[in-house]
Structure 1
Amino acid sequence: MTTDTATGGPGPANETVRGEREPILLELVDESGTTTGTAEKLSVHQAPGRLHRAFSVFLLDERGRLLLQRRALTKYHSPGLWSNTCCGHPLPGEPPFAAAARRTGEELGMAPELMRAAGTVRYHHTDPVSGLVEREYNHLFAGVVRAEPRPDPEEVAETAFVDPAALERLRGEAEFSVWFPTVLDAVRPALRELAGSADW
């Protein structure tokens, strides 16, 4: 197992966990999802990108509506864009499920219910604005939420609950993260099962 702590490039190369001074390290993985080492967060997302572990959370309310978030304008990656309920990266050694639950609480001030694994998906996308690369082995989670979100403004600019029709309208009017279409398509079977509806 190797460790790469190179930061590279200008800007928030030394982005840190709140209250900490050390750079955030992410897990590098191979094509089967086996951990191969760690590398600093921003360097992993710089071209050509390095395959690393990530997670995406999709939560439905009791009416079967999906909770979306619009990323804070101060985010270094995809600021101001709409995306799924929560997404991020486990810390090295942190189980993806635990990371997904932790970050949902930190970003949205809420705890998901009945959250379960909904498969994995690999993708390689480049953000057209920043040039940052998303080359991820993404663990998908779907669940239910019964509380109103209380978003951290440093993480989330806005939230919305949308049914499938409202989501399609919003996708025609607003910009979404480059990874959103891929993870949404991959998680649709789990959303249909949770909602008890084929609409998703």
Structure 2
Amino acid sequence: MPTTPATTAETRSQHPAGEAGPVPGGTAEPIMLELVDESGVTTGTAEKLSAHLPPGRLHRAFSVFLFDSAGRLLIQQRALGKYHSPGVWSNTCCGHPYPGEAPFAAAARRTAEELGVSPSLLCAAGTVRYNHPDPASGLVEQEFNHLFVGLVQDEPRPDPEEVGETAFVTAAELERLHRERTFSAWFPTVLDTVRPAVRELTGPSAGW
């Protein structure tokens, strides 16, 4: 399982490879998110940080769950330099489409940018709407999240500005790690929602 040390860099422009976004008071161009209503219909745009300030503004997001041939889930530890939920563990990849970008395209793009892999058999697995405050940063996730599941055949090559570590875990190993380490506030919600699609992808023997 590859491990990559995290860095403290967190300043990106609006349309480069990364989606890290500016730190409060930073000088980079802001990343814009797509605001939506409760049905997922686009209502406008907002700068990324402002959309996460309490009480949060409902915006479009995506979450990716990739599995290897043994049915193990690829998880990542978010880089320590991120201003939102740094250092916590989460699913394979999370992020936000650019305004007007299809969630599927954004999911594939960010997985390649963050982890250096191209998912195969990537399939939509529904949506979930949630409101999760992050106690550590004081920010709020008000998201209409598009879920995707797929397979990964290559070893991850993480971008250290985005990802601290990666690991492939079985369902039992994930349960243990969830008790021992800090995971993102949204992780239990997206995992529970995506489980039916994961079982269809990996088969019952994987234990998901």
TM-score normalised by L of structure 1: 0.91
Percent identity for Structure 1 against Structure 2: 72
Q: Which has the higher contact order (CA 8 A, sep 6+)?
A: 2
Aligned counterpart, 2:114: 107
The letter for the 1-side match of 2:86 is P
In the aligned structure 2, how far is the partner of 1:166 from the partner of 1:106? 26
* Alignment check: 8 A CA contact 2:51 2:57 kept: yes
Give the 4+ runs in structure 1 shifted more than 6 A.
none
* Alignment check: 8 A CA contact 2:17 2:113 kept: no
Per-residue CA shift, 1:87-128, capped at 9, x if unaligned? 000000000000000000000000000000000000001001
In the aligned structure 1, how far is the partner of 2:13 from the partner of 2:128? 27
Give the counterpart of 2:43 among 36, 44, 56.
Answer: 36
Q: 1:38-53, aligned counterparts within 5 Å?
A: 38-53=45-60
In the aligned structure 1, how far is the partner of 2:141 from the partner of 2:161? 21
Aligned residue for 2:204, secondary structure, equals coil
Aligned counterpart, 2:155: 148
* Alignment check: 8 A CA contact 2:59 2:144 kept: yes
The letter for the 2-side match of 1:16 is S
Aligned counterpart, 2:189: 182
CA RMSD of aligned residues (A): 1.6
In the aligned structure 1, how far is the partner of 2:42 from the partner of 2:12? 22
Matched, 1:162 2:172: no
Aligned residue for 2:199, secondary structure, equals helix
Query: Residue 16 of structure 1: CA displacement?
Result: 3.2
Aligned counterpart, 1:69: 76
Matched, 1:16 2:13: yes
Distance 1:19 1:138, change over 3 A: closer
In the aligned structure 2, how far is the partner of 1:106 from the partner of 1:15? 13
Query: Residue 23 of structure 1: CA displacement?
Result: 1.2
Aligned counterpart, 1:197: 204
Aligned counterpart, 2:23: none
Query: Residue 84 of structure 1: CA displacement?
Result: 0.3
Aligned residue for 1:172, secondary structure, equals helix
The letter for the 2-side match of 1:133 is V
Aligned residue for 1:16, secondary structure, equals coil
Matched, 1:124 2:131: yes
The letter for the 2-side match of 1:69 is Q
Aligned counterpart, 1:83: 90
In the aligned structure 1, how far is the partner of 2:37 from the partner of 2:17? 31
* Alignment check: 8 A CA contact 2:124 2:148 kept: yes
Query: Residue 197 of structure 1: CA displacement?
Result: 1.4
